[in-house]
Structure 1
């Protein structure tokens, strides 16, 4: 079967939902949104603290990396959303854009901080505080404060101030050295994903077709132009105007390679005839690597009791209580040395013992100060094994990455040792064994560090001919084909990646329709 549309969008994640809404706003065009996963219809998607219940289920792609030599040869689990809303349906809801230096540092015309700020603000519907007018207030994506923050979260912020970190009036200003309670993508105490914000309002439109449970197999390219998408079930979705890949930092380069767009020698080695030789497809992979300090809590006030029937009732009937927690309730952005141009480490506070992605719950009450490497120097790659995807982040292959993580763990220990938290801190909690010296902390990182779920960069955008996409997100060498998701980011942001994914979707919509065209 073949069905024809003006635009075919592959991937209903953060950017894909934005594009489906914005492009279908023109009643004269037809839009198809193709999602390999199903509807976002599970209760745990709505419950902010329930995201760990979605890992390794049909709502998750459940990826695994190649063995990482610098992490004791471990293969790391990488969850990614496989549903309407994509990873915005199973993330920790943190809205952290990054800083001015991130976007100015891309050095791509039309994508500097002042260029992209209006697109962040177009998306945002800030509820509550908005000091300095940092946020947009009329967009579709609700950004709110936590309804029922844990009492330990306020103590963490006091501890940060005690060790010299400033309390930020708002997190998402152009600079963010300091600490803050986390702004979250929630509405009245429940998760507010990209599907909630963008897709549901648009689905009533007759010119938008949303296909779930349909996995794209390749982009069809004829005479140098993308003409449609062939799905694994054999159906073809023809595109009169454009095919737009919004399948994320793994899915988008994978689809390009399956379609013959990538390193020509690698494609031939995997039995795929090259259409366009673009060696950088799949390269430049960056991710935020995470470690942390996990300690017991001397009082029974943590999220360890969040899943009680009483808390479920509070959530269902009042939208309050522990289940409205996003788990990462506060953050601090720090520089490990005066030479850093912007924060290089993020501390994320969880009023719970969080290890193994929350898949195993250590017994008892505890707290976690996570340590995130914000600007890794290591670069990995997405590649093929036949038609299967291989993920090799190459963690810690740059020496500076381990040094910064160890320094960040040192700052986390300062927080734990502060007078503000000291009365509540118990002994180290499994699996943390109490590492404290630089050598011990380096060993701890290699033993247990995990992803913070932020892969980017594998379809790098640039004005140079070697980039995968140009500043208008057009794939080089193939007409009618764009990539619009975090895979286009030349450098990872010093924040979390849901916010830039939404911004990229908003900016892409303007580029496609001509409202925000960049001129050569």
Structure 2
């Protein structure tokens, strides 16, 4: 059994950050274990390649929710990145810190030390954003850029938002989120800037860092209430490794609770039902599952050229040439072009809905196939869902995915916010600036008008936007899985450092928050080691 000081399970966003920070001074031997491969596809580096990677089982675990009545028995895809770099290989690259109130709410919920004043320095530490002011970082490892491409229809949409009384906001990450503008993305000179480029590549050659890819973690090695290492399978062999200091779980909100339950840690009823010996009862494992649920409203466009036509035939060939010659054009685009953070009620202090505008529309969203005719889409997501779901194992086999039950739209506040957000999107598109470019509304269509009709559209068509969190939430109550220093409650030698520790949803895309959690978590681990 090989010995290391720290073993990191999961080579995604948090795992790569920990691998860099914990191995930096050469004092500790660190092992990073990742089930997927190294990211070698050309599509990883081309931003628009996300549409191909999302449906590629080499890069996507391909999880799906269980059928649920709230969405008429549909199963919904929950993509999660597979390979060194995790979801930063396949996501839409949108960078959103969230609102200061999000992190203050974490602290109020029992996550002491995670208020915005305590976490803001870690955002600044990781950011390299030349376009920001004093509230932004400009020397960190993660390159950020504002979406560079501009199109007549996207400018018109921003003008329509202004006509509706909405604000312009050039930097929604500087502490004031409300308003409309162009998204900030994790890119550098027109290329995706994954966590591998930002953190892992600079650490690979260190003698004290070992990386095992194509290595699927099977279970933790427990001695009583102490974790002393883990077992992984590689090339058909089971290999045990020992952590003299700590084992760090960075598998994400879906697979971290799965690994804990497979190891006998979690809700006793869930674990015993699968015939696994109970090692440590912890009822909150796999509970408090939260994700962003979104609808996609589509319009048929006119008097302009959209991505639907630009991504075919000769126009596409021209765009490919432009990208390789200049690193510009539509191949630099991810999942969002224009942002909107809006309040659906005057009584709200901060935005409760996020918009993703792009001049494209899917003929088949599941397979990422665009329409042949011109179109545009506004994705509508409620920022802070109150609905709670679960993730639990449904088999003792580590290769079987867990049962994911999001319980979308269970809370009345979620339903009301989402419906109001869709109604406001229609109102903005109805402003004079957009009339030249809009032919008609395709989805949900003008016939949808009442609250119940809007809600039915959401139930029939809504999807997750891939931001699962909360299943090992931190806090100080009996249902919390981790304490505010990310240690699993009642155990030694093991911490969780990923999206699963977040007690509440952040207002926007979650990759920025995961990076912050990992940076702060690395500091905590090193501080505790020195103490």
Q: Normalising to structure 1: TM-score of the pair?
A: 0.96
| Correspondence for 2:415 | 402
CA pair 49-358 structure 1, distance change in 2 beyond 3 A: farther
CA apart distance, 1:204: 1.4
User: How far, CA to CA, are the matches of 2:529 and 2:326 in structure 1?
Assistant: 42
> Which of 379, 391, 408 is matched with 1:370 structurally?
379
SS in 1 for 2:455: helix
| Correspondence for 1:286 | 290
> Which of 329, 343, 346 is matched with 1:321 structurally?
329
Deviations 1:85-134 (A, max 9, x none): 1111111111101001100001221100000000011000013x21x322
2:444/2:457 contact within 8 Å kept: no
1:61/1:81 contact within 8 Å kept: yes
1:282/1:458 contact within 8 Å kept: yes
Are 2:463 and 1:454 equivalent residues in the alignment? no
CA apart distance, 1:198: 0.5
Instruction: Count residues in correspondence.
Output: 515
2:170/2:180 contact within 8 Å kept: no
CA apart distance, 1:478: 1.5
1:12/1:35 contact within 8 Å kept: yes
Cα RMSD after superposing both structures: 1.7
| Correspondence for 2:33 | 34
| Correspondence for 1:360 | 369
> Which of 324, 335, 338 is matched with 1:330 structurally?
338
Are 2:473 and 1:486 equivalent residues in the alignment? no
CA apart distance, 1:141: 0.1
SS in 2 for 1:423: coil
User: How far, CA to CA, are the matches of 1:113 and 1:210 in structure 2?
Assistant: 33
User: How far, CA to CA, are the matches of 2:283 and 2:296 in structure 1?
Assistant: 36
CA pair 356-190 structure 1, distance change in 2 beyond 3 A: same
CA apart distance, 1:344: 1.1
CA pair 516-293 structure 1, distance change in 2 beyond 3 A: farther
CA apart distance, 1:433: 7.6
User: How far, CA to CA, are the matches of 2:376 and 2:153 in structure 1?
Assistant: 9
1:178/1:332 contact within 8 Å kept: yes
Are 2:149 and 1:148 equivalent residues in the alignment? yes
Deviations 1:477-499 (A, max 9, x none): 22010000110000000111000
Are 2:419 and 1:411 equivalent residues in the alignment? no
CA apart distance, 1:358: 5.5
CA apart distance, 1:342: 2.1
Unaligned runs of 5+ in 2: none
| Correspondence for 2:319 | 311
Deviations 1:35-88 (A, max 9, x none): 111111111111111201112311000001011211111010111100111111
| Correspondence for 1:84 | 84
User: How far, CA to CA, are the matches of 2:349 and 2:153 in structure 1?
Assistant: 31
Are 2:468 and 1:468 equivalent residues in the alignment? no
2:387/2:414 contact within 8 Å kept: yes
SS in 2 for 1:363: coil
CA pair 348-434 structure 1, distance change in 2 beyond 3 A: farther
| Correspondence for 2:161 | 160
Q: Normalising to structure 2: TM-score of the pair?
A: 0.94
> Which of 266, 270, 273 is matched with 2:274 structurally?
270
Unaligned runs of 5+ in 1: none
| Correspondence for 2:200 | 199
2:14/2:515 contact within 8 Å kept: yes
User: How far, CA to CA, are the matches of 2:241 and 2:257 in structure 1?
Assistant: 19
CA apart distance, 1:446: 1.1
1:228/1:238 contact within 8 Å kept: yes
User: How far, CA to CA, are the matches of 1:194 and 1:433 in structure 2?
Assistant: 43
CA apart distance, 1:201: 1.0
User: How far, CA to CA, are the matches of 2:282 and 2:528 in structure 1?
Assistant: 28
The aligned runs of 1:181-200 (5 Å cut-off) are 181-200=182-201
> Which of 384, 388, 406 is matched with 1:393 structurally?
406
Are 2:296 and 1:297 equivalent residues in the alignment? no
| Correspondence for 2:178 | 177
Comparing 226-235 with 137-146, greater Cα deviation is found at 226-235
CA pair 439-464 structure 1, distance change in 2 beyond 3 A: closer
CA apart distance, 1:290: 0.3
User: How far, CA to CA, are the matches of 1:408 and 1:363 in structure 2?
Assistant: 28
User: How far, CA to CA, are the matches of 1:70 and 1:357 in structure 2?
Assistant: 20
1:218/1:258 contact within 8 Å kept: yes
User: How far, CA to CA, are the matches of 2:317 and 2:212 in structure 1?
Assistant: 36
User: How far, CA to CA, are the matches of 2:6 and 2:446 in structure 1?
Assistant: 53
CA pair 91-432 structure 1, distance change in 2 beyond 3 A: farther
CA pair 296-44 structure 1, distance change in 2 beyond 3 A: same
